[in-house]
């Protein structure tokens, strides 16, 4: 309790038993995953000395997250999250059991290692959005931010312990024991999830199905300009920064002359640096903006890559990777925080899934690309090229400012219920919504400018078509129209409109003249008998 008070509530969520148990199990599970990854990366250097093959392991682990993050985000919203997480943990345990058996029997090949790593990446893709989504279920509302911070801290604790422990186990007992330790960690996580007394999902008449939720998430992403900025900044940063991760196993072995234990210690240094970076982050944020933090992370990462390219003494490399860990956690938390700040709750899981898709896509493409560059020009030259590219990109992207995230995205619930003559089936559609405005001629330009900003809001919340028309007989009568795919989707639209959106709508309404509010009409598609 004193720790929680001393840190301003940072550790308060651990006083809640369910969160404490699942958080501890997650730290253990992530530790096992890092041990498995160290063993796989190092075994690949035994199976093949090709930089492209070694980089393929990194790509195989991250590519599924690029491909499946968005579907995983949708599944998070429509399935029982506890059962879903248990199934994913069973899948990951199967992957590690297979690796353990193949390595023990000497039957592990390059293709098998890459294939099982890819399957493990599928599990990670399915699990990521779900772990983030369950946090509000585990803690009080006022502790959610602290719980998210503790999850980040837990990952970096695992990052600092797992690689080092995995490297030591690998060097002392071999890959089979290392993979076996990972299997044991999954058993603990499954036990914690089975113990979790989670309440059953409440029935929701407006529950989304998979394809509808998938389309809604994509529509929101396509129409959110602030999210586009975050995605662009993330893609550029991680595409260049992935060079150090793709080539680090070969740096440890060929440039630094280390063994499996030393490689694990290098990765442990990254985790330790990340923990240190997380602890000093609040002070850094008092002095630097999000853009300043991201630029600093790019500069430090490029310096670390340059230092590693010189094949420095081992203690220098370890020191450099401490700074790499601090820079990496700074970039991750800055970009993730920016994404979180521009996403309303109803689409947060799917929006974050899109962010994870971009992140892992950049890491996957970058790993493959930097592996090919290393193959062509050598590891040292590849690191130098990556460092220069990251530095230039960081300076150029600094001009593209991250969103401040100060918009009020809480639902406003200010739309009145639509008028209906009789109940409308939820799956009926498409639905056309017309809103009639009366705008004086001298305010026409200002009105059109204001309503143009409203168009993105309509599309983000569910519309797939939008426009403004005028009455040929009365140019001062203007009609805004937009279409949604079903009546249920329009009812969801009523619940999605935020306070920030309401402010936009008030700016548009300021140009409407007349004794009454604009007339709103809803038109339903008629299913004619015999129509094709």
Q: In sequence order, what DSSP letters do the residues of 373-434 get, joined into one string?
A: HHHHH-HHHHHHHHHHHHHHHHHHHTTSPPP---S--SB---SPPPP-SS---TT---EEEE
CA atoms within 13 A on the CB side of 163: 22
Same domain for 354 and 482, yes or no, is no
Q: Which of 23-27, 492-496, 528-532 has the highest mean pLDDT?
A: 23-27
pLDDT surpassing 80 at residue 58: no
Residue 492 confidence class, pLDDT cut points 50, 70, 90: confident
Q: What is the CATH number of the domain that holds 182?
A: 1.20.1250.20
**Crossing angle of helices 51-78 and 81-105, rounded to 10°:** 160
Is residue 531 in some structural domain?
no
Q: Which residue has the tokens 């113990």?
A: 195
Higher pLDDT, 151 or 270: 270
pLDDT surpassing 50 at residue 1: no
Tell me how far CA of residue 403 lies from CA of 128, 233, 423, in angstroms: 24, 11, 42
pLDDT at site 187 = 94
Is residue 250 a contact partner of residue 382, using CB atoms and an 8 Å limit? Answer: no
Is residue 314 in some structural domain?
yes
Same domain for 79 and 29, yes or no, is yes
Same domain for 188 and 245, yes or no, is yes
> Which positions ≥6 away from 474 have C-beta within 8 Å?
none
Residue range 368-395, pLDDT digits in tens: 898 889 888 989 999 999 999 999 999 9
Same domain for 385 and 274, yes or no, is yes
User: d(Cα 513, Cα 515) in Å, to the nearest integer?
Assistant: 7
First to last CA, the chain: 68
Choose among 244, 181, 498, 229: nearest CA to 347. Answer: 498
Same domain for 464 and 387, yes or no, is no
Domain containing residue 495? 431-524
The alpha carbon torsion through 326, 329, 334, 339 (nearest 10 deg) reads 170
pLDDT at site 191 = 95
Q: What is the CATH number of the domain that holds 483?
A: 3.30.70.100
User: d(Cα 33, Cα 99) in Å, to the nearest integer?
Assistant: 13
Same domain for 438 and 502, yes or no, is yes
Same domain for 215 and 142, yes or no, is yes
pLDDT at site 7 = 38
55-64, 66-75, 233-242: which has the minimum mean pLDDT? 55-64
User: d(Cα 98, Cα 40) in Å, to the nearest integer?
Assistant: 12
Section 149-170 average pLDDT: 78
Is residue 529 in some structural domain?
no
Is residue 415 in some structural domain?
no
pLDDT at site 6 = 37
Residue 530 confidence class, pLDDT cut points 50, 70, 90: low
Same domain for 382 and 442, yes or no, is no
Is residue 424 in some structural domain?
no
Provide the whole-model pTM.
0.76
Higher pLDDT, 33 or 302: 302
Same domain for 438 and 366, yes or no, is no
200-214, 345-359, 474-488: which has the minimum mean pLDDT? 200-214
pLDDT at site 2 = 39
DSSP classification of residue 141? G
Residue 4 confidence class, pLDDT cut points 50, 70, 90: very low
Same domain for 278 and 217, yes or no, is yes
| Number of domains the chain is built from | 2
Section 242-250 average pLDDT: 88
Is residue 100 in some structural domain?
yes
pLDDT at site 141 = 65
Paired tokens of 153: 């801290």
Is residue 171 in some structural domain?
yes
Same domain for 448 and 385, yes or no, is no
Pairing of strands 431-438, 465-470: unpaired
pLDDT surpassing 80 at residue 24: yes
Same domain for 22 and 153, yes or no, is yes
pLDDT surpassing 60 at residue 203: no
Section 418-430 average pLDDT: 86
Choose among 505, 497, 518, 521: nearest CA to 434. Answer: 521
Is residue 177 in some structural domain?
yes
Other beta carbons within 10 Å of 440: 11
């Amino acid at each position: 309790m004193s720790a929680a008070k001393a840190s301003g509530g940072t550790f308060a969520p651990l006083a809640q038993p369910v969160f404490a148990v699942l958080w501890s199990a997650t730290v253990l599970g992530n530790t096992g995953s890092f041990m498995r990854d160290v063993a796989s990366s190092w075994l690949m250097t035994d199976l093949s000395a090709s930089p492209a093959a070694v980089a393929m392991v990194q790509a195989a682990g991250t590519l599924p997250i690029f491909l499946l993050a968005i579907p995983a985000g949708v599944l998070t919203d429509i399935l029982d999250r506890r059962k879903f997480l248990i199934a994913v943990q069973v899948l990951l345990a199967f992957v590690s059991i297979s690796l353990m058996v193949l390595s023990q029997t000497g039957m592990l090949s390059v293709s098998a290692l890459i294939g099982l790593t890819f399957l493990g990446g599928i599990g990670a893709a399915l699990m990521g959005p779900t772990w983030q989504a369950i946090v509000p279920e585990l803690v009080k509302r006022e502790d959610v931010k602290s719980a998210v911070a503790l999850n980040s801290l837990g990952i970096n604790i695992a990052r600092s312990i797992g690689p080092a422990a995995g490297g030591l186990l690998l060097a002392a007992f071999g890959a089979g024991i290392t993979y076996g330790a990972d299997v044991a960690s999954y058993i603990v996580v499954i036990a914690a999830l089975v113990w979790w007394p989670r309440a059953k999902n409440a029935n929701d008449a407006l529950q989304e199905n998979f394809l509808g939720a998938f389309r809604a998430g994509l529509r929101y992403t396509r129409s959110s300009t602030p999210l586009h900025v975050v995605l662009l900044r993330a893609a550029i940063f991680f595409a260049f920064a992935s060079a150090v991760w793709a080539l680090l196993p070969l740096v440890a072995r060929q440039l630094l002359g280390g063994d499996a234990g030393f490689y694990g210690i290098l990765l442990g240094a990254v985790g330790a640096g990340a923990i240190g970076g997380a602890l000093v982050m609040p002070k850094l944020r008092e002095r630097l903006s999000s853009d300043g933090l991201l630029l600093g992370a790019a500069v430090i990462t490029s310096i670390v890559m340059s230092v590693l390219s010189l094949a420095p003494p081992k203690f220098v490399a370890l020191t450099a990777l401490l700074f790499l860990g601090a820079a990496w956690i700074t970039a991750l938390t800055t970009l993730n925080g920016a994404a979180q700040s521009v996403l309303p709750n109803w689409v947060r899981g799917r929006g974050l899934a899109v962010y994870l898709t971009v992140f892992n896509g950049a890491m996957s493409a970058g790993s493959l690309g930097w592996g090919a560059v290393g193959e062509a020009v050598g590891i040292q030259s590849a690191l130098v090229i990556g460092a220069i590219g990251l530095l230039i990109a960081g300076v150029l992207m600094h001009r593209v400012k991250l969103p401040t995230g100060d918009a009020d995205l809480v639902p406003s619930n200010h739309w009145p219920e639509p008028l209906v003559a009789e109940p409308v089936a939820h799956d009926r559609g498409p639905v056309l919504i017309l809103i009639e405005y009366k705008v004086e001629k001298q305010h026409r330009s200002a009105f059109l400018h204001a309503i143009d900003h409203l168009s993105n809001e309509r599309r983000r919340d569910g519309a797939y078509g939008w426009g403004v028309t005028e009455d040929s007989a009365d140019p001062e009568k203007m009609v805004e129209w937009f279409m949604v795919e079903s009546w249920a989707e329009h009812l969801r639209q009523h619940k999605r409109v935020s306070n920030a959106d309401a402010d936009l709508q008030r700016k548009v309404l300021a140009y409407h003249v007349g004794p009454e509010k604009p007339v709103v009409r809803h038109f339903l598609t008629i299913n004619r008998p015999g129509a094709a």
